[in-house]
Amino acid sequence: MNSWYPLLAVLAASLVCAYLRTGLRTWTFAGFAALFGAAWLAGASWPAIAITTAVFGALTLPLNLPDFRRRKITAPLLTMYQKITPQISDTERTALEAGTVGFEGELFSGKPNWKKLLGEPAAQLSVEEQAFLDGPCEEVCHMANEWQITHELADLTPEIWEFIKKKKFFGMIIPKEYGGLEFSALAQSAVLQKLMGVSGSLSSTVGVPNSLGPGELLLHYGTKEQRDYYLPRLADGREVPCFALTGPTAGSDATSIPDYGIVCKGEWQGGNVLGVRLTFDKRYITLAPVATLIGLAFQMHDPDHLLGDKEHIGITLALIPRDTKGLEIGRRHFPLNAAFQNGPVRGNDIFVPLSQLIGGEAMAGQGWRMLVECLSVGRAITLPSNASGGVRMGAIATGAYARMRKQFGMAIGRFEGIEEALARIGGYTYAITALSRATASAVDRGEKPAVTSAIAKYHCTELAREVAKDIMDVHGGKAVQLGPNNYAGRGWQTAPIAITVEGANIMTRSLMIFGQGAIRCHPHVLKEMQAAQIPDYATRLRAFDRELFAHIGFAFSNAARSFVLGLVNARIGAAPGDKYTRRFYRKLNRYAANLALVADTSMLLLGGKLKFKEKISARLGDVLSNLYIASAMLKRYEDQGRPIADQPLLAWAFHDCAFRMQTALDGVLRNFPIRPAAWLLRALVFPIGRREAPPSDRLGRRVAAILCAPGEARDRLAEWAYLTPSANNPVGRMNALLPDVIAAEPVERKFAKAQKSGAIKSLDAAAQLAEAEQIGAITAEERKLLERVRAATMEFIDVDDFDPAELPAAMPRAKPGLRSVA
Ligand SMILES: Cc1cc2nc3c(=O)[nH]c(=O)nc-3n(C[C@H](O)[C@H](O)[C@H](O)COP(=O)(O)OP(=O)(O)OC[C@H]3O[C@@H](n4cnc5c(N)ncnc54)[C@H](O)[C@@H]3O)c2cc1C
């Protein structure tokens, strides 16, 4: 007998069991059967069969005897685990335990259950929400003139302020019982997207009160008195809120805020009550200059033990009315020419009673937990929606412009260089809008998507910045010259704001996405940590044993699945979808297994050091993010009834995601500090090399074509965009002209032919058309069409020019250094 046969048979059986994720017992039986069968078929003698089977049994049976396994294997491993696992600070624990895990958990499992994703009902707007979008939202878009807002007033007009308060735009998250609109997350997203299409300043102004701030915090933690008093006032705009966390020395590291409040007695509304004396210096606070209610985060101290034993109570949140004595408020920052209100807030020794703490005295010291618990919901909606609204409008505008702007005798959209940029605009718009819809839908399902809100915030804003760059490049000088006709320049100018706020992007990518995702989404890591902390030893050992062995099986399975799916380039395996998309799901199965394998190995071998290996962590986060983005796009494609017209957009964006995942995994393996482990991982992850390629030029051409002509895929891309051809909306007007521009193209060709033949002698453009009609090159109808289209097109090719006196901003100049004091 060839002595290798039984071993090979056991290995083959193990590979199949690991691929299929069978349990330990099934694997043991399969191993026995394979061993026995191979030895028997190879003609081994009975003593030889007995010896090999006994060896196999000696190795595997102890694993199947729970008591023995726990005492002899798990107990020492638990001791070791407790020694090497890094201590998690309270702050980190709060962040890790906040929020819920949705489909991202499936992606981290290495074997996603697609039924779970595809079985979720498609999110839809209610009749009331749609009516709001078509009514007040459309109306305010009609009122907004971005040039007037950003350049002339550096503010929304008084009419717009009045209108958005009256129509309760600030109360979208507030329940109806308090007079709010109580909109779904999807509806909030749709409103912000629509507003963003006309004015970033308007959408930011509306976004902030509906995101993390007094409204959200009061809803979750406010006392009854606070909710009853403030929520109706916030809903109808009597109160304009802001939330002040950031200060000069505490930006990304928000828990390091030096701002403090000392518990003491003080004067409040004529009485002497217990409260806090606050000293703080906050900056960058959106809406602060006009806010009437300031949410404030500070460190609370009780040196005189007026509340209890604790001296340092911790981060606490308070509500400071604008007219509080000593509050310094009203000055403005000027964030990259955007006109939404943003500025500093300061206070020196100002007093508020304990009843102004959000949640009252009971919630003192709970501020960080409150913020982290609420952060994910706002982060899942506001910035992803703004990014979506911006790129939707940009895609429509750029496609139309590329069709009407001609150079070298051709529409610029036909040049391959422009096609490349248009393909990125179309593909990323598809990805951003799918991602933003996915996180809003998760919120509507009751999730607090801690990990995916970070993914959405990072990737929507990063990709939107890419789109903004391409929009600028396609428009050339037209987008550079600011003025009422420039619909692109402000988007480009302000793109870095979205990158910076709600978790600056570099930190979000390097520290948060994978850092949180690895622990929150991993099927075993958090459970192992929790098991290791159970006080009772027997229970601890049992729980840890269960998780540990499930984890080991999980790791083997991911290794097997990575290798097998890599070997066949993800061409096999059960997957949902249609003929067009099945291959995409299979690729995601492969990359999910890769992520789970590489993440597990990184955590095992780098342990606590992984936290500081930000470049490794960031790349693993990229794999998780792109898995999620691709899943969101496939879900959208399914929800919209698998529209064939959208396939180029889906395919372009999908291949881009797949290529990014491959690049990220390759980057991890190239830079993994323990080289032998990296070599082994490479053999498992890329057994036949890197086969992913970026989207092809042909596919890019099809995407570009979608943007440049009216059609159902383009219409879906423009969902919720404000495309009414009103005076304040050049994009709407340009879009309305597009069918005529296309109808005029064959006429232009006929005219050009006549001109080339020398039959047209005039130099004047209008006279040339008349001549073309006279010689029968074009009909009278066609001449009219050309005249109309040429004249209308010029409106969009023209840029603004100004009398020099018009250019200085109309804002009255404040004296340097003057601060208004309420
Ligand atoms: C227009 C605007 C509006 C804002 N609105 C508000 C508001 O309403 N309320 C409020 O409280 N705050 C607000 N902010 C503050 C915003 O949340 C902070 O700007 C943000 O938290 C980053 O802080 P920072 O600007 O001080 O940058 P820093 O923290 O100094 O960061 C600088 C760079 O270092 C990176 N970095 C930091 N730590 C790490 C790390 N561990 N690993 C890798 N990279 C890291 C960051 O990603 C960033 O790129 C606003 C800011 C702006 C610009």
Of all protein residues, the one whose alpha carbon is nearest to atom 36 of ligand 1 is: 507
Q: Residue 123 gets which letter from DSSP?
A: P
d(CA 371, CA 378): 11
Residues 438, 459 contacting (CB under 8 angstroms): no
Q: Ligand 1, residues 201, 280, 293, 500: which to mutate, most atoms within 8 A of Cβ?
A: 500
Question: Buried (b) or exposed (e) across 336-366, using 16+ Cβ within 10 A?
Answer: ebbbbbbbbbbbeebbbbbbbbbbbbebbbb
Q: DSSP for 81-120, please give it.
A: HHHHSPPPPHHHHHHHHSSB--HHHHHHTTS--HHHHHTS
How many angstroms is it from 370 CA to the middle of ligand 1? Answer: 19
Question: In the structure, how many helices (H) and strands (E) does the chain have?
Answer: 34, 9
How many angstroms is it from 14 CA to the middle of ligand 1? Answer: 49
How many angstroms is it from 254 CA to the middle of ligand 1? Answer: 9
pLDDT digits (tens, 9 = 90+) for 203-217: 999 999 999 899 999
Of all protein residues, the one whose alpha carbon is nearest to atom 17 of ligand 1 is: 501
The backbone torsions φ and ψ at residue 797, rounded to the nearest 5 degrees and listed phi first, read: -85, -30
3-state secondary structure of 208: helix
d(CA 25, CA 21): 11
Residues 497, 336 contacting (CB under 8 angstroms): yes
Distances (CA, A) of 552 to 113, 530, 556, 597, 668: 20, 17, 6, 11, 22
Of all protein residues, the one whose alpha carbon is nearest to atom 16 of ligand 1 is: 501
Q: What is the largest CA-CA distance in the chain?
A: 106
Residues 231, 178 contacting (CB under 8 angstroms): yes
Nearest C-alpha neighbor of 146 from the set 390, 477, 311? 390
Of all protein residues, the one whose alpha carbon is nearest to atom 6 of ligand 1 is: 285
pLDDT digits (tens, 9 = 90+) for 250-272: 999 999 999 999 999 999 988 99
CB atoms within 10 A of CB 446: 8
Question: Alpha-carbon Rg of the chain, whole angstroms?
Answer: 31
Cα–chain center distance at 424: 18
3-state secondary structure of 301: strand
Of all protein residues, the one whose alpha carbon is nearest to atom 14 of ligand 1 is: 284
CB atoms within 10 A of CB 252: 13
How many angstroms is it from 500 CA to the middle of ligand 1? Answer: 5
Catalytic residue check, 502: yes
- pLDDT at res. 809: 63
Dihedral of the alpha carbons of 223, 297, 182, 432, in degrees to the nearest 10 = -160
State the catalytic residue, choosing from 104, 106, 373, 502: 502
d(CA 277, CA 297): 13
Indicate the helix (H) or strand (E) that contains 346. strand 342-353
d(CA 662, CA 622): 10
How many angstroms is it from 804 CA to the middle of ligand 1? Answer: 37
Q: Which residue has the tokens 């992520």?
A: 595
pLDDT digits (tens, 9 = 90+) for 111-145: 999 999 999 999 999 999 999 999 999 999 999 99
CB atoms within 10 A of CB 123: 19
The atom of ligand 1 lying closest to the CA of 333 is 1
How many angstroms is it from 627 CA to the middle of ligand 1? Answer: 27
Entry field: residues in the chain: 822
The atom of ligand 1 lying closest to the CA of 502 is 17
Lining residues, ligand 1, CB within 6 Å? 242-246, 251-252, 284-286, 335, 342, 497, 500-501, 504, 506-507, 510-511, 614
Q: Ligand 1, residues 284, 317, 383, 494: which to mutate, most atoms within 8 A of Cβ?
A: 284
The atom of ligand 1 lying closest to the CA of 252 is 29
- pLDDT at res. 47: 85
How many angstroms is it from 236 CA to the middle of ligand 1? Answer: 30
Question: In the chain, which stretches have pLDDT less than 70?
Answer: 1-3, 86-91, 809-822
How many angstroms is it from 504 CA to the middle of ligand 1? Answer: 5
Of all protein residues, the one whose alpha carbon is nearest to atom 44 of ligand 1 is: 507
Nearest C-alpha neighbor of 188 from the set 244, 234, 123? 123
Of all protein residues, the one whose alpha carbon is nearest to atom 4 of ligand 1 is: 284
pLDDT digits (tens, 9 = 90+) for 269-323: 889 999 999 999 999 999 999 999 999 999 999 999 999 999 999 999 999 999 9
d(CA 683, CA 678): 9
Q: What's the token pair of residue 539?
A: 């229970």
CB atoms within 10 A of CB 548: 22
The atom of ligand 1 lying closest to the CA of 505 is 47
The atom of ligand 1 lying closest to the CA of 208 is 8
Of all protein residues, the one whose alpha carbon is nearest to atom 12 of ligand 1 is: 246
How many angstroms is it from 782 CA to the middle of ligand 1? Answer: 57
d(CA 775, CA 770): 9
The atom of ligand 1 lying closest to the CA of 250 is 26
Q: Ligand 1, residues 280, 501, 611: which to mutate, most atoms within 8 A of Cβ?
A: 501
